[in-house]
Amino acid sequence: MEPRAVQEDRAFRYGIEHECALLHSDGGFADYTDTGFDELQAVIDALPEDPDDYPELRVGDQGIKRKRWYVEGYERFDTHGRLVRCDPKGIEIRTRIHGSVDAAVGALRADVARLDGALAPTRLRTTVIGFNPLRSEYRIEPPLNEWERQHRLGSPEERTAHLHMSTYGPDLNLSCATLGTAALVDIGRKLTHYSPWLVPLSFSSPFRDGAPWGGLSARTAVRTGLRPAVLVFLGERDEQVDADPSLTQEARIPAEVGRIEFKAFDACPDPVLYGELLSWLTGLVLDETLPGRRTTPDAALHQHVALAGLGDDDVHACTGALLDAAAAALAGRDDDLGRLESLRGRWARRECPAVTMLARYEDGEPVAGLRHP
């Protein structure tokens, strides 16, 4: 075990990016088929802009990401590269970079409440689910023009960007100033390897095409293998790892350098669960015992876990071993250990949001716009 003095030198910083799905006030699921960008942008316009959010948050080329809240969608361009429309899937909330897990979770909770307040006078409401319960596929119509093809084929993530139109999940971000480039890449490979046993505690997408699909995470079944489980952001002079999907990416703003971004969890209804998962990730970053490494996710294993979840005894045992490894590495970090114990309770109960969603659905309650026939 690492000496406590060394552990205390490892100060982590945290951020959360959370994708909110939307419901109409009558309870129906809202997406790009019946909700326009301008309608959502009007909600964003009513929310405050804080100049202190920058330079920690990226604005982006089109200026859509001007605030901590922004309309998430698929952008379309003309043949000269000018934005002509954005098909919305929902609203994303992202926190600033915080010095503790509790601060990041508290910031997200406050900004969800602000978004709910801005939506109150409209026909829309927020909900949390990991996958569009009505539509499995976003079709690119009309087909990409020549400029868009060149733009969208530049990286594995751009090439598969349309997949995110059906999925909702967090990017859980952590960084530590004492980690060098080689260590960051190694951690990215470790978290990619163990991702199949990390994700089941977050599963929240048991519906697909209007009904239960038989598993717990349609998001994991569809995206993993084509999209990264982890992205590590490196400096412009650092050597990038050649992989498809990507493992590393050049930081787009200085605040991203050294960031480890875990992307494979489903969206979680309670931000408290994000805090528990961030503490788990912290322990796995500190761990020096786990041997597994992969550059790209194991798609077949993720798909199996997406179906079975923690109901599979082998998956349950592997997830428990990762909790044990994290707990050993977190010795002396009492707040993290407390959150990890809460997560261990969920693991012992084989609990995830999808199980609760299915139970509510079977009881006849509406869940993300669906009701048992």
Token pair 């009881």 in the structure block, residue:
363
Between 63 and 82, where is the model more confident?
A: 82
Q: What is the pLDDT of residue 197?
A: 98
Over residues 286-300, mean pLDDT: 98
Examine the pLDDT at 266 and tell me if it is beyond 50.
yes
- The residue type of 366 is P
Q: What is the pLDDT of residue 66?
A: 84
Tallying the residues shown for the chain, one arrives at: 373
Per DSSP, 144 falls in state P
Any idea what the Cα angle at residue 53 is, between residues 51 and 55, rounded to 5°? 95
Please tell me the number of Cα atoms within 13 Å of 72 on its side-chain side.
25
Assign 155 a pLDDT band (cuts: 50, 70, 90). confident
Over residues 97-113, mean pLDDT: 98
Assign 167 a pLDDT band (cuts: 50, 70, 90). very high
Q: What is the pLDDT of residue 154?
A: 78
User: 8-362: which CATH topology?
Assistant: Creatine Kinase; Chain A, domain 2 (3.30.590)
Closest Cα partner for 121 from 187, 193, 25, 54?
Answer: 25
Examine the pLDDT at 2 and tell me if it is beyond 50.
no
* Domain spans in the chain, listed from the N-terminal domain onward: 8-362
- The residue type of 103 is A
The sign of the CA dihedral 243, 14, 337, 20 is: negative
Q: What is the pLDDT of residue 198?
A: 98
Over residues 79-105, mean pLDDT: 96
Q: What is the pLDDT of residue 3?
A: 35
DSSP annotation string for 21-61: EEEETTS-EE-TTT--HHHHHHHHHTS---GGGTTTS---T
Q: What digits encode the pLDDT tens for the residues 172-188? A: 999 999 999 999 999 99
Q: What is the pLDDT of residue 55?
A: 82
Per-chain mean pLDDT for the chain: 94
Assign 305 a pLDDT band (cuts: 50, 70, 90). very high
Q: What digits encode the pLDDT tens for the residues 191-231? A: 999 999 999 999 999 999 999 999 999 999 999 999 999 99
Q: What is the pLDDT of residue 59?
A: 80
Closest Cα partner for 239 from 168, 297, 185, 174?
Answer: 185
